[in-house]
Amino acid sequence: MNAHADGHQFPPVPPREEAPRTPVGNMRSFWGLLTAFWRSQNRTEAWTLAILIAGLSWFVSKVGIWIAEAAGAFENAKATYQTPGNLDPLGRFETAALALVAMVTLSVLTVATRHYFSQTLQRKWRAWLNAQFTEATLGEGHTILKIQSNPTLDSLDQRQQECLKTLTGNAIGLAMGVLTVLTSAWEVSRKLWQISTPVSQLPALGTDASFVLTLGVIVPFAVLCTWGFARIGNVMRGVNKTFMEAEGAFRSELNTMFRRAGQITATAGERVQKKVNRTLYADIDHVWHRNNVLQAGFMGLHDFYTMVSFQVVASVLALPAYAQGAIDFQTYITTAALVGQLTNGFSWLIDVTPALAALKADVERVNEYAQEVEKVQDTRAYFQATGIHDFTYRLHPPSQGIRVRGLELMHEGLTAQPFLRAPADLHFPAGTWTALVGTSGGGKTSFLNALMGQEDYGRAEVFLPPGRKPFYAAQAMRIPDTTLKQLVAGPEDEEDFADTDIAAVLAETGLGFPEFLRCLHEKNCHGRPWDRALSGGQKKRLILAQLLLLRPEVALLDEVTAGLDPGAQTEFYDVLKRHCPTTTVISSIHNRAMPFHASGAPVYQFVAEIDDGLISVRRFHAGARLHLSPSATETTTLTTLTRHPEHAPHDDPA
C-alpha cells in the first residue's frame, strides 16, 4: 500500500499485465480503472474538461483571497464607523459592502461554472465506462452468461449502474478537492508571507515570525486530525461495501419477485415472499445502523474540528501581532480569515473522508467485475479451474445438419461425474425436426445450452452449419423494454428490416392487430409495456414471428409451446414448417404426447430421448414406446395429442 502524509493509504500501482482482451481489461486495478478514460480515444475531450476545471479551481482560490481581503475591509468599516477622523463612514461602509458582495458573487458564479463542467465530465466519463462494460459483456463468447456462473459476483446491474455513477462523481470531486487544496495553500501562503509581521516572543524569526508561527501550528494540527479521520474512513469503506452487497441482494430479489408476481399470487405465496423480503432487508437495516453510527460520529468530530480551527486557531494565531500593535484590525480580520482558509485547505481529506470511502468501495466492486469479464475470455481455463470443460465447436457443410461427438455434461467439480452423456455420436439431419424428451430435470435444457455453447462443465465436439447462429427460444420468454419491431427482430437490429416485413410476419402469426401495428415503433401499447400488453399465448406467437422473420438454419426450442392448447400447438407447428421448411429444429417438449400436423403427418421425424442420464436419437414412428429407466413410473406411448388430450395443458390458449 502507498502511505501518504495524511495517514490514508491508497492501493498500490499494479505491475504491468499482459495485453487486455476486452475493453475493460485495463480496469482491473484501482488506478487502471480511474485512469482508463484519460488514456482512451476520448482523452482529448477528457483532458480539455479537466484543464478547464483545474483553471476554475485555481481561480476559486484566488477569489477566496479577495473575499478574505474584502471581508477584512468590511469588518474594519463597521468597527471604525464612529472613529474620529473617519470623514465618510457611510461611503466607506458602502464601498466595502459592495466589494464583498462582488467578490462573493464572482465566487458563486465561478463555482457554479466549475460545477457545470465537472458534471459534464462525470456524465461523459460514466457514459464511456458504461459503453466499455456493455461492449465487453455483450460481445462474442457469451460473456454475460458465463460470468454469472461465479456466485460471489453479485448484483452485476448495481456494479455497472450505481457504482459507475458514484465512483465517477466521487473521483472528480476528490480531484477538485486536491486541486483546490494545492492552489489555495499556495495562494494563501503567499498572502500570509506578504503580510507577515514580527512577534515579540519570537525575535529570532524577524519579519517572518507570524508566518512561521502559523505554519508551525496549522500543519501538525491538520495532519494529526486528518490522520484520525482517515482511520474512520477505512472503517467506512468496509461498511459501504457491505451495505452495497446487502442492497444488491435485496434489489435482485425484488426484481425476481416482480417478474414472478403472477406465480406468487396464483400459489398464494405472498406470506413466504414477505418473509424472504424481511430477511434480506434486515441485512440492509443492520449495516445501515452501523453506517449511521459512523456518520454521526464523523459529523460530530468534524463539527468540533471546524469550530476549533475557524473560531479558535484562526483567531489565536493572528492575535499576538495584533495585540502588540504590529497590524491593524483590518489586517487582523484578513489574517484570521486566511488562516482559517489555510487550515481548511490542509485538512481537505477530512471533508471528503466519506466520499473517499465510497469511492474505494465502488472501485473494488467494479474491479471485481472487470477481472471476471477479462478472466472468462479464456473460457477453457476459466471453467477448468473449478471443473471439467472441453467443448469444441466447428462448422461443416449445411447438408450435414448437426453432429455431436463425445457428449458428457456435468456439474462443477474436478471429479464430477456426467449427469448426461451420449454413448454414441448424435446426428440431427439437415431440415429435420427432432423432439427432445425426458423426465423433468433430466438435462434437456442443459443439452440445448451445450449446442449453443452455453454449457459450463463437460465435454463435447459440436458440428454446426455455417451462417447465422442457432436460434434459441426458452419457455419463459422475458420481454425487454423496447419497441415491438425490435421484439420481432429478436437478436438482430430492427433497422435491418422494413416495417412491411415485420407487419407481414405479425399477420402470419396472428399478431397483426391494428393496435399492435400502430404501436410498432413504440415501447408500449396503450400505456402498457409489451411484457404486460402481450398475453402468454401471444408471447409464444412472438417467438414464431421471430422464426419466420429470421428463417434460421438451426432452431433450438425449449418447451416453447408449453401452455398452448392442442389446436394452438398444431397451428404453431404448421406455420413454422410451412415458412421454414429447411430449418433444422430440435425442440424439447413438456409432455410425452407427440404432436401431429393437421394433415395427420407427425411434426417430428426424430426423437432424442434422455433416459437414466443417457441421450440417444432415433427415428419417430407412431406407436413406438419410450425407453424409460427402471425407476420411472411412466409407460406413455409416443402418440398424438388428439388421442390423449388429457396430457395436453389448457391453461393458456393463444
Give the model's pLDDT for residue 500.
93
In sequence order, the β-bridge partners of residue 471 are 555
Cell numbers given for 453: 455453447
DSSP string, 272-302: HHHHHHHHHHHHHHHHHHHHHHHHHHHHHHH
- Name the packing angle between helices 164-194 and 209-259 (round to 10°): 170
Q: 606 pLDDT band (50/70/90 cuts)?
A: very high
Matching residue, cell 399478431:
511
Is the pLDDT assigned to residue 254 strictly greater than 70? yes
User: Which amino acid, one-letter code, is at 444?
Assistant: K
- Answer yes or no: is pLDDT of 640 > 60: no
Identify the pLDDT of residue 633: 39
Q: How far apart are CA 34 and CA 32, in angstroms?
A: 6
In 3D space, the residue among 71, 129, 123 whose CA is nearest the CA of residue 96 turns out to be: 71
**Distance between CA atoms of residues 25 and 16, nearest Å:** 12
Tell me: pLDDT of 392 over 70: yes
Beta bridge partners of 507: none
Residues 79/329, Cβ–Cβ less than 8 Å: yes
Q: Give the DSSP letter string of 103-151.
A: HHHHHHHHHHHHHHHHHHHHHHHHHHHHHHHHHHHSSTT-HHHHGGG-T
How many Å apart are CA 331 and CA 184, to the nearest integer? 19
In tens, the pLDDT along 352-366 reads 667 777 888 889 999
Residue with cell 455483450: 138
State the pLDDT at residue 269: 74
pLDDT digits (tens, 9 = 90+) for 434-475: 999 988 888 998 999 899 887 789 999 999 998 878 899 887
Q: Position of cell 472441453?
A: 390
- How far is the C-alpha of 563 from the C-alpha of 572, rounded, in Å? 12
The pLDDT of residue 369: 92
Mean of pLDDT over the chain: 80
**Could you tell me the pTM of the whole model?**
0.67
**Residue 229 vs residue 580, higher pLDDT:** 580
On whether the CB atoms of residues 479 and 534 are closer than 8 A, the answer is yes
What is each CA distance from 212 to 199, 203, 218, 270, 323, in whole angstroms?
A: 10, 12, 10, 70, 18
pLDDT of 422 reads 94
- Condensed to tens digits (0 to 9), the pLDDT of residues 302-337 reads 667 666 666 666 666 666 666 666 667 767 677 777
Residue 433 has pLDDT above 60, yes or no: yes
Averaged pLDDT, 16-33: 83
Q: Please, what are the domains in the chain?
A: 28-377 (1.20.1560.10), 392-479+554-647 (3.40.50.300), 480-533 (no CATH)
Give the per-residue pLDDT at 346. Answer: 59
The sign of the CA dihedral 246, 250, 251, 253 is: positive
407: left (phi over 0), alpha (psi -120 to 50) or beta: beta
398-402, 591-595, 645-649: range with lowest mean pLDDT: 645-649
In whole angstroms, give the CA distance from residue 198 to residue 207: 4
Instruction: Please determine, for residue 39, whether its predicted confidence score (pLDDT) is greater than 90.
Output: yes
Q: What is the pLDDT of residue 80?
A: 80
Q: Whole-angstrom Cα distance, residue 101 to residue 24?
A: 49
Mean pLDDT of 276-296: 82
Backbone angles phi, psi at 388, to 5 degrees: -100, 125
Measured between alpha carbons, how far is 379 from 376 in angstroms, rounded to an integer? 5
Q: How far apart are CA 413 and CA 291, in angstroms?
A: 39
pLDDT at 48: 95
SS3 call for 308: helix
% of the chain residues with pLDDT over 70:
76
What phi, psi does 528 have (nearest 5°)? -110, 130
Look at residue 326 in the predicted model and tell me its pLDDT: 67
**DSSP one-letter string for 63-80:** HHHHHHHHHHHHHHHHHT
Q: Are strands 528-529 and 554-558 parallel, antiparallel or unpaired?
A: unpaired
**What pLDDT was estimated at residue 648?**
35
